[in-house]
Amino acid sequence: MDTFITEDETVELLVDLVRIPSVNPPADTQECAAFILDKFKGEKIEAELIKGNDRQTNVVARLRGQNNGKTLLLNGHIDVVVPGADWTVDPFGGEIRDGKIYGRGTCDMKSGVAAMMAAMIGLKRSGASFNGEILFQGVADEETGSQWGTVHLLENNIGRDADFAIVSEPTSLNIATGNRGLRWIDVTVKGEASHAGRPHLGTNAIEHAAKLIRAIDAMQFEARHDFFEVPSPSISVTTINGGAKVNIIPERCDLAIDRRMMPGETGDSVMAELKQIVDSLLKDEKKLRIEMNVRPQFWDPYLISENEPVVQATRAAVEEIVGVKPDILGKAGCTDASHIFHMGAIPTVVFGPGNEKLAHKPDECVERKQYVAAVPIFLSIFRKLLG
């Protein structure tokens, strides 16, 4: 398939994006969004910047067909996590070696963003006729909750009326038709301080937090979907902090909980399960209090049918371009596809280049061949959905 954009141009586009640090925190995506804006405008593609806040900037581009028709939403985040230690290459160098492109965000997920951009540029250059509209969202803030990125755009009705959507998170060119959900819960266990020489005069918050952790670890879940990469819910205590001094019985211990959800579970059902455990611990402890608060950032689980046109078009496009039938699965992690599906009732797939197991790791990279192949796949999807 003639993509009307060369392989060298496609690779250069990703390298340029990687060389713009858009680390979250502090989630300053202004430079990266401005680069994408200029790239689209240079190709005569309508584009604009949409501020989430002073630093977190989104870019929206529209490619309109010759005739009325349906709208395909393309979504990808342009913020990346901090580089961390143990890199053997410059995390923002975009180095190419041994058939791989290295750098923070190459996998998660600037390769997906660049592939969608390249496909839109190729379609524009080709002058090929299509129906409807392709709406691109390059969003900020996905790594810390999406409040100023995808959620902000949807709340302002940008993309909310699309007919189908693709979020180009890394899937190794397989297709995810859903993802697990997530709630982060902060727990404070409050007891009573005393001298450690007289522990019976106090109520040890750390000891009771340990009991809570053991009870959480013993939780059994009924929800199960074997279709998902991780087929059941999970709950993990991921941070803990308590105690003021070695000779004081601690009056407070703080925990953070990561609770992953399956379709059918809700925020209310998650909290009801935890409340049962907490109530059982408080039953005989008059001087003990346990407070739980759900953080405002959340993702609900979702799953769509394999019969949805966006799934069928993506599957057929992969087979057409790479000659391999892609796996259809449910992702273990969370993506902005959750917000697109639940806020807009839009059938959404997660599909893109890159091995998600390399995300957030030192020497993050994407295979050049796989990244470049994503461009004609997207072009084929455009033709199948909007032709």
Under the banding of pLDDT at 50, 70 and 90, the label for residue 279 is very high
Element (H, E) at 155: helix 150-155
**Which pLDDT score, from 0 to 100, does residue 380 have?**
98
**Which pLDDT score, from 0 to 100, does residue 44 have?**
98
The yes-or-no answer to whether 7-179+301-386 and 181-299 have a common fold is no
**Which pLDDT score, from 0 to 100, does residue 2 have?**
85
Q: What is the pTM of this model?
A: 0.94
**Which pLDDT score, from 0 to 100, does residue 284 have?**
84
pLDDT tens across 221-277, in order? 999 999 999 999 999 999 999 999 999 999 999 999 999 999 999 999 999 999 999
Instruction: Tell me the average pLDDT of the chain.
Output: 97
**Which pLDDT score, from 0 to 100, does residue 271 have?**
98
Which residues, 6 or more positions from 40, have their beta carbon under 8 angstroms from its beta carbon? 46, 47, 59, 61, 117, 120, 121, 136
Under the banding of pLDDT at 50, 70 and 90, the label for residue 188 is very high
Distance between CA atoms of residues 116 and 354, nearest Å: 14
**Which pLDDT score, from 0 to 100, does residue 120 have?**
98
**Which pLDDT score, from 0 to 100, does residue 198 have?**
97
Q: Where are the domains of the chain?
A: 7-179+301-386, 181-299
**Which pLDDT score, from 0 to 100, does residue 104 have?**
98
Q: Is the pLDDT of residue 1 over 80?
A: no
User: If phi over 0 gives left and psi between -120 and 50 gives alpha, with beta otherwise, what is residue 252?
Assistant: beta
Under the banding of pLDDT at 50, 70 and 90, the label for residue 201 is very high
For residue 124, count other CB atoms closer than 10 A to its CB.
17
Give the mean model confidence (pLDDT) for residues 176-199.
97
Q: Is the pLDDT of residue 68 over 90?
A: yes
Architecture of domain 181-299: 2-Layer Sandwich (3.30)
Q: Cis link prior to 296 (omega < 30° from 0)?
A: no
Q: Is the pLDDT of residue 4 over 80?
A: yes
pLDDT tens across 131-173, in order? 999 999 999 999 988 999 999 999 999 999 999 999 999 999 9
Under the banding of pLDDT at 50, 70 and 90, the label for residue 309 is very high
- Percentage of residues of the chain with pLDDT beyond 70: 100
For residue 346, the 8-state DSSP code is: -
Class of domain 7-179+301-386: alpha beta
Under the banding of pLDDT at 50, 70 and 90, the label for residue 176 is very high
Distance between CA atoms of residues 179 and 137, nearest Å: 20
